[in-house]
Structure 1
């Protein structure tokens, strides 16, 4: 079995700007925003950047699934997950002038930024690529700096 590695997962919950339709939001987020952030994130040590699109049609469909019908389905239009070895990766990315000049300015075009929420914690992978992954005794916690 492979050794399990702890990585920090930074999840950003996103609402679209009210003046955008769902289709406009999802299209812009994928086709315009992604090309602006890919290289910047990779340059600062981000190991993975994933967008999850959660249109209302899918959220409504989920409400009819047994077992999910009792849960509260989050109303976000989507979320981003960034995977990194330490918080310093995201800290350094935000210090890059490109962040303020390009990334923040672009986010204001499609996201309802004041409503954005962030979850942060480490990822523990127990099954990967169809194989069981185990924690090794004495494994250190994630590095925060």
Structure 2
């Protein structure tokens, strides 16, 4: 096993654990999300905590997927040292990991807002929770596509 193989295996395993964590949240959130009344405070405490955990899981999965895809590109021989986010997104589209490169860039933009911009108004926090709820299945689909691509290339994780 090469060093890249070990990093790929580790990335796939980490993504699987994050996805499992997302699945654990689903029963708590399925009947309350998306929030309609722009106030998370009206949710029971368990759902409020789960909604914040959803934000963190989204951040983690998007970040790990980005790292995993860069490692995958290296594994296939691509020099990733100077690739921009757009370059990576274009590769993802070429490999059919995403429908369009813009889809990946949108998910990256949401993750960056979660990490770098603290919402001042409650409605902003609600919007982010709702956006993550809607976007999470897209991230999981991308992870599934990465796993399928790796399997097709003979990589078994």
TM-score band (shorter)?
under 0.3
With CA pairs under 8 Å and 6+ residues apart, which has the higher RCO, 1 or 2?
Answer: 1
Higher helix share: 2
Relative to total residues, which structure has the larger strand share, 1 or 2? 1
- Bigger CA radius of gyration: 1
TM-score, normalized by length of structure 2?
Answer: 0.26
